[in-house]
Amino acid sequence: MSAIYRLSLLAPAAAAEQFDRAIAPLEGALATDVPDSQGRVRMTWYFGDQPDRPWVTARLAAASLAQGIALPDFELGLLPETDWVAESQAELQPITAGRFFVHGSHVTGPAPAGTIPLLIDANQAFGTGRHETTYGCLVALSALARRHRFRRVLDLGCGSAVLALAALRLWPAARVLAADIDPAAVRVAAENVRINGSLPGRGGIETLGATGYAHPRLEAAAPYDLIVANILAGPLCRLALGTARHLAPGGLVVLSGLLVRQERRVLAKHRAVGLRLVERRHFNEWSVLVMRRPG
């Protein structure tokens, strides 16, 4: 197994986005727990190369200063070879989210009757279905499938590609693009697409690396009937205009990765570019919004 380095800290949920931007140049895989009773979240990054501790300290200090908080204690070090994927897979129990049964490769029994199985192992990409944001998106997609058919789908910030795979299972004729800014996530997404196989029909999934909508392939495939963006509140707001421009008239977008208290800001940004709220769902402290482009 390749060496894996881990950076872990406990921070106020309101500062999580600031810390994520601070560490983003290292291109690690981030896992974030739900807020605790004191409104703090455990943020854990995983890296294939050893981060420079003074650089990490300086970046975290600057982010703390911007938030007006003290620099949190953090742990940075090499994971033991017995840690990481193998053990985490064994501990991950399968879940049912909407119509989907999400499980790791260590689960060998049959899926519950009436569910759609998705094989997603723990890896260097967000999205095993267990966090409220991914879980909520799977529930939202399952609900949309009862009323809609989509042929052009974009999973923006795809992570493990679990949502792209879910979309293709629900709409087998769809062409699905799965894009992420993180090269490690793109590699994991492509592997998960391969592992889960293809379906009969004209549809399929294409994975690619992109920063937001800035990629010729994303432009060429637009407009989309459905966009799923499970990222963070800040990037959702910054990409609102691009989301509206890349949606077909009548198209829908599923927005996730935001806390309930961040709803107002995210809704305001998307309403300002002409989108209308169709539905909202809350999963503990997290929100999933479904919005439509009129037409």
The residues of the chain that CATH labels 3.30.70.260 are: 5-83
Q: List phi, psi (to 5°) of 113.
A: -55, 135
The residues of the chain that CATH labels 3.40.50.150 are: 127-292
- What's the length of the chain? 295
Cα R_g (the chain), whole angstroms: 19
- Say whether 248 sits in a helix, a strand or coil: strand
Tell me the whole-structure pTM to 2 decimals.
Answer: 0.70
| The CATH homologous superfamily of the domain defined by 127-292 | Vaccinia Virus protein VP39 (3.40.50.150)
- In angstroms, the CA 118 to CA 116 distance is 7
Return the structure tokens found at 149: 């058919």
How many C-beta atoms lie closer than 10 Å to residue 216's C-beta?
9
Q: What is the rounded average pLDDT of the residues 192-215?
A: 82
Which residue, among 68, 254, 47, has the nearest Cα to 157 in the 3D structure?
A: 254
Which pLDDT belongs to residue 124? Answer: 44
Which pLDDT belongs to residue 159? Answer: 87
Which residue, among 230, 222, 227, has the nearest Cα to 292 in the 3D structure?
A: 227
Query: Between 26 and 53, where is the model more confident?
Result: 53
First-to-last C-alpha distance (Å) of the chain? 51
Strand-pair partners of 32 = 43
- The pLDDT tens digits for 225-259 are 999 999 888 889 999 999 999 999 999 999 998 88
Q: Do the beta carbons of residue 97 and residue 116 sit within 8 Å?
A: no
The residue type of 82 is: T
Q: Which CATH class is domain 5-83?
A: alpha beta
Which residue, among 192, 202, 193, 197, has the nearest Cα to 171 in the 3D structure?
A: 202
Query: Which DSSP letter does residue 204 get?
Result: E
**DSSP characters over 112-161:** PTT-EEEE----SSS-SS-SHHHHHHHHHHHHHTTT---SEEEEET-TTS
- The pLDDT tens digits for 153-188 are 999 999 889 999 999 999 999 999 999 988 888 998
